[in-house]
Chains A and B, each alone.
Chain A
Amino acid sequence: GENVEQHPSTLSVQEGDSAVIKCTYSDSASNYFPWYKQELGKGPQLIIDIRSNVGEKKDQRIAVTLNKTAKHFSLHITETQPEDSAVYFCAAPSSGGFKTIFGAGTRLFVKA
């Protein structure tokens, strides 16, 4: 079946450093790859997404890269700040329906 794998499960960085979270997907037909941030006690919120017709997208301190050949996409956060501490989920659409498959999540800690 379709699968989205996400690594690492936990990431601790010093404030100001960069953080990278990686995901792989199994369905080669997938064409939309969002990243969600979930803060404690809240629902996930979309922070950036990328479609299969581009290889990279940036929005201020966050960027996402996509390698369709390798079926791999990554979230990059530069100049991390304590408020970046949260759980991040990658996701991809399932084929043949309206379902979204989420990765296992990465708990990011940014130490001041």
Chain B
Amino acid sequence: SAVISQKPSRDICQRGTSLTIQCQVDSQVTMMFWYRQQPGQSLTLIATANQGSEATYESGFVIDKFPISRPNLTFSTLTVSNMSPEDSSIYLCSASQGQGNTGELFFGEGSRLTVL
């Protein structure tokens, strides 16, 4: 199993600023992912964080808006850049220990961002 810690757990941000969310896993994992979850909605994959290389972004998400780092097997960051109220959401870090997408995903408790 894997325990994922995210910080901040919540924040209130001003329009136009950027915020970096940190994700720490207590064991080595193969895959790390960042999801967005609007209130009352499902999970939308932003990108797969790749160790030592650029993240793989899903349609509708771009690196300039959501830069991601993954310097090692247990740590990743997601930055939400130039924030607007539409970016108000819960951002979830996730990880898996398998090679593909046929195993358990572990999730952090999320970072709830409110943009004013």
A interacts with B: yes
> Residue on B with the closest CB to A52?
B102
Contact (A43, B4) CB under 8 Å given A105-B41, A105-B42: yes
Report the bound CA distance from A93 to B96 in whole Å: 13
Question: For B102, what are the chain A residues with a Cβ–Cβ distance below 8 Å?
Answer: 31-32, 51, 93
Q: How far is the CB of A13 from chain B (nearest CB, A)?
A: 20
A67 within 8 A of B: no
Q: How far is the CB of A26 from chain B (nearest CB, A)?
A: 15
B75 within 8 A of A: no
Report the bound CA distance from A93 to B108 in whole Å: 20
Interface of chain B: mostly helix, strand, loop or mixed: loop
Categorize the interface residue count of chain A. 20 to 34
Contact (A98, B104) CB under 8 Å given A43-B92, A44-B43: no
Interface mask (B102-116 → A, CB under 8 Å = 1, otherwise 0): 111101111000000
Report the bound CA distance from A14 to B92 in whole Å: 32
Contact partner of A89 (CB less than 8 A), chosen from B4, B42, B48, B103, is: B42
> Residue on B with the closest CB to A32?
B102
Question: For A51, what are the chain B residues with a Cβ–Cβ distance below 8 Å?
Answer: 102
Contact partner of A42 (CB less than 8 A), chosen from B48, B58, B94, B109, is: B109
A99 within 8 A of B: yes
Q: List A residues 61-112 near B (Cβ within 8 Å).
A: 89, 93-94, 97-100, 102-105
Contact between A46 and B4 (Cβ–Cβ < 8 Å)? no
Q: List B residues 87-104 near A (Cβ within 8 Å).
A: 92, 94, 100-104
Q: How far is the CB of B5 from chain A (nearest CB, A)?
A: 11
B29 within 8 A of A: no
Q: How far is the CB of B102 from chain A (nearest CB, A)?
A: 4
Q: Which residues of A contact B (CB under 8 A)?
A: 31-32, 34, 36, 41-46, 49, 51, 89, 93-94, 97-100, 102-105
The 3 closest A-B pairs by CB, nearest first: A43-B107, A32-B102, A93-B101
Q: Which residues of B contact A (CB under 8 A)?
A: 4, 31, 41-43, 45, 48, 58, 92, 94, 100-105, 107-110
